[in-house]
Amino acid sequence: MLYILEAIKNVDYRIVNLLFSNRSGFLSDLFLNITYLGSNIFIVFLSAVVICALIISRKKYTALVFAGSIFATGLSVYFIKILVSRVRPDSVFALYLESSPSFPSGHSAMSLCLYGLLAYLAVLLFKKKYQKVIILIISILLIVLIGFSRVYLGVHYSSDVLAGFIVAVPWLLLGAHLIKNLRENKVYLSW
């Protein structure tokens, strides 16, 4: 087990060093903008907009499931960060400083859950296969780019990002499953 942890640490350090040594001004600006799409402020704002839209559309249970999935993901990340308390990469690598523990990446977890659920809702809404494929490709690309941005900007290790994705997957799948059941049972209107 110690060998595996040491191997993960070595890969993490190599990736951070590689990205740092190949960092450019254009890419730094690009990834600063991309990482904002996974920030707490943006996640809360976009989640609130989606929840309000669902409530206005008389899909109150779907709004509740959506909110619950996002909240559960955030809570899971919060407690794991406290439990593990991994120090972030050295500040020499960071394009800006973060104060919370490194493991797991909250940006990655929250992005996977939020944009994954948004993609699922959009796929249910659109009828044509090409529209569904485009939505899925855009969502996957956005999630991956947000995760990558965290490592590129030097505020996370690659294993933090992977762990963030892993933390979010059960909440995304549970949320999608419950939304599917609500849709199949046509439970939209009342509490």
| Residues noted as catalytic | 107, 156
Count of H-run helices and E-run strands, the chain? 7, 0
- 167, 73 contact by CB (below 8 A): yes
Cis-peptide, bond into residue 89, ω within 30° of zero: no
124 burial level (CB within 10 Å; 0-12, 13-18, 19+): middle
- Residues 78 and 104: their CA atoms lie apart, in Å, by 9
With residue 163 as reference, give the H or E element that holds it. Answer: helix 158-184
Q: Which residues, including other chains, have CB under 8 Å from residue 75's CB and lie 6 or more apart? A: none
- Token output for 3: 């060998």
Name the one residue in this structure whose structure tokens are 């704002």. Answer: 45
- Residues 161 and 117: their CA atoms lie apart, in Å, by 19
